[in-house]
Chains A and B, each alone.
Chain A
Amino acid sequence: MSVLSLQIGALAQRSVVRTARQPASAIPPLLFPVALMLINSGGLKASTQLPGFPTDSFLAFALAVPFIQGALFSTMNAGTDLARDIQTGFFSRLSLTPVRGGALLAGQLAGIVVLGVVQAVFYISVGLLLGVRFAAGPAGIALLLVYAALVAVAFGSIGSFLALRTGSGEAIQGLFPLLFVFLLISSMNTPRNLIAVGWFRFLASVNPVSYLIECVRSLVITGWDVEALALGFGIATVISIVALIAASRELVRRLARS
């Protein structure tokens, strides 16, 4: 095993262990999105009667939302953890080891990816238990797990960037509602083509979160929709790259070691 992979593994292990030992922050990202999905499914079931609605099961339609909502929670948790490391001096301890900057970020993100995949398995299991049938089949489920990992990297990188930029857990928690707005102005509850209000339809169409949701949704209710998959994977990749570059620059600034 190379030194770099050893370092990444060690930091990822720490990230997972930390989360497992604080159920108060690990459980809400699992349960809250599912609870919201169930409430919405009950209240908005009539939406499936709209002409052009892509499925007769609102639960199948809404199952995509927890994936993104859970990732948002992970963003906040990951960012808060990293900011806490900076505030307590643990980050300085890591800086004094031969650990490379890339390993610091990758280790942090590897932990988030593990948690993102665990969340995805939970959401898929809940969906299956409630009778949702995945149109893309087992291969689609496998791809969904890969996608969950990619989305975790994207949002985790945003969280890492914010943590390295501000060095404050409180600042990250303060920014969380702002990130949540992106979810609310997306196609989370209604397909974009059925949104009647013009300005909302416009915002949902320019909001990348809509396409992240629709990628998951396509695997659940449509099957293999190449356009939706390309948009979802493409946007997640672009967010990952941009956020990783921004986080790396902040990491270099934050380390400021010779």
Chain B
Amino acid sequence: MQPASSLDGVTRDNSIVVEKLVREFKKGPRAVDGIDLYVAPGEIYGFLGPNGAGKSTTVLMLTTLLPPTAGTARVGGYDVREEGAKVRSVIGAALQEAALDPLLTGRDHLRLQTMLQAVPRAERKPRQQELLDRVGLTDAADRKVRGYSGGMKRRLDLALALVHRPRILFLDEPTTGLDPQSRTALWEEVARLAREDNVTVFLTTQYLEEADVLADRVGIIDHGKIVAEGTPAALKAEIGRPSVHVIPCREDDRPRIADLLGRFGEKLGSDRDLAVRLREGIGMVDVIRAMDADGVVVDDVELRAPTLDDVFLAKTGRTLEGEATGADGAPAR
């Protein structure tokens, strides 16, 4: 985390520096409750949390679309509250819903965006074509957007965010609702942007895999507060030990197996689950030997490395996967 005093010394770079950022809504809870975070230039920062955790509200504040109630945030070296126009000039954003006009074609959208972003006349058409090629929409460029699939809309949304070659890119749940193929294609493009163009990417997601695969560092937000932050590997290492999960052959054996597993570490999940986080120095082989010695027959035994969901569980007492959907608390805009 960037030290508090760093705000004054920040240069005009691609970083995001946030200190004690708060957003309160009338008659509502604190959607964002005093968060601090630092995203380094060229880094992909995964902002992970369930629906309603405060992810989108944070993005709206960092993109100047929603004034903070308190706290400070500098994006690309500019204060989001005082230097909104400058912030907008260095960022690109693809917000939660692909905000496209169904009556315009993909090329129409890019033409409009290049004009509004004041791209020089001579560069407009080449830039439009370059972006269409990059997101794989050249063949569909002259079709109306209302005929696009969800993946195509998301890719066009990304292309529009890149028109003016932003230094910092905000992607708010960019792959929600996409099929695996479209999701992978989008991940590749985002990774390429960071790797080759040194674009800083602030990515919100509720998909653990997305954060794990794509993000250099992850911040986990819950109820408006950041509860954990670090590289995916470091966060998982913090949780530490792997877990063993057993599927019994006979239901009658369940209590016996649960007792047996309890000898090797901390039980996970509900009483119905047969899973244990192994204590230091214990391996899966010890569990299997014990089951063999007790004559327990099982259908399957699995050793699982810690996941980001385990991290989320450890930090919040809940699992992220399977969270009910709900509103973030940010107003419709």
Contacts and interface: CB of A to CB of B under 8 A. Distances in A.
Interface of A: 3, 6-7, 9-11, 13-14, 17-18, 21-22, 85-99, 167, 256-258
Contacts of B111: 10
A18 B101 CA distance: 9
Interface stretch (B91-99, B133-141, B175-183, B210-218): B91-99
Given A10-B112, A90-B100, 20 more contacts: A3-B118, A7-B118, A17-B103, A21-B103, A21-B144, A88-B99, A88-B100, A88-B101, A89-B99, A91-B333, A92-B65, A92-B99, A92-B333, A93-B95, A96-B88, A97-B117, A98-B89, A98-B117, A99-B116, A258-B80
Nearest to B333: A92
A258 B99 contact: no
B283 interface: no
Contacts, number: 89
Given A10-B112, A258-B64, A92 B95 contact: yes
Q: Secondary structure at chain B's binding surface: helix, strand, loop or mixed?
A: loop
Nearest to A107: B116
Contacts of B324: none
Given A17-B104, A18-B101, A90-B101, A98 B333 contact: no
Q: Secondary structure at chain A's binding surface: helix, strand, loop or mixed?
A: helix
B84 A258 contact: yes
A256 B117 CA distance: 20
Contact of B332 (A6, A13, A87): A87
Nearest to B146: A21
A171 B139 CA distance: 39
B30 interface: no
A258 B160 CA distance: 22
B103 A22 contact: yes
Contact of A89 (B95, B112, B118): B95
B67 A93 contact: no
8 contacts: A6-B118, A10-B115, A14-B108, A89-B99, A92-B95, A97-B88, A257-B66, A257-B84
Interface string B46-80: 00000000000000000111110000000000001
Interface of B: 63-67, 80-85, 87-89, 91, 93, 95-97, 99-101, 103-104, 108, 111-113, 115-118, 144, 160, 332-333
B99 A93 contact: yes
Given A3-B118, A17-B103, A86-B333, A96 B65 contact: yes
Among B84, B97, B103, chain A packs the most CB atoms within 10 A around the CB of B103
A258 B62 CA distance: 10
B204 to A, nearest CB: 15
A85 to B, nearest CB: 8
Contacts of B101: 14, 18, 85, 88, 90
Contacts of B116: 7, 10-11, 94, 97-99
Contacts of B80: 258
- Top 3 nearest A-B pairs by Cβ distance? A89-B99, A258-B84, A10-B115
Contacts of A258: 64, 67, 80-84, 87
B113 A98 contact: no
Contacts of B67: 256-258
Nearest to A86: B333
Contacts of B81: 258
A98 B88 contact: yes
Nearest to A93: B99
Contacts of B100: 88, 90
Nearest to A90: B99
Contact of A17 (B93, B108, B332): B108
A3 B115 CA distance: 9
Contacts of B83: 258
Nearest to A84: B101
A28 to B, nearest CB: 17
A85 B101 CA distance: 8
Among A17, A21, A92, A167, chain B packs the most CB atoms within 10 A around the CB of A92
Contacts of B66: 256-257
B103 A89 contact: no
A121 B85 CA distance: 41
A89 B63 contact: no
A81 B65 CA distance: 21
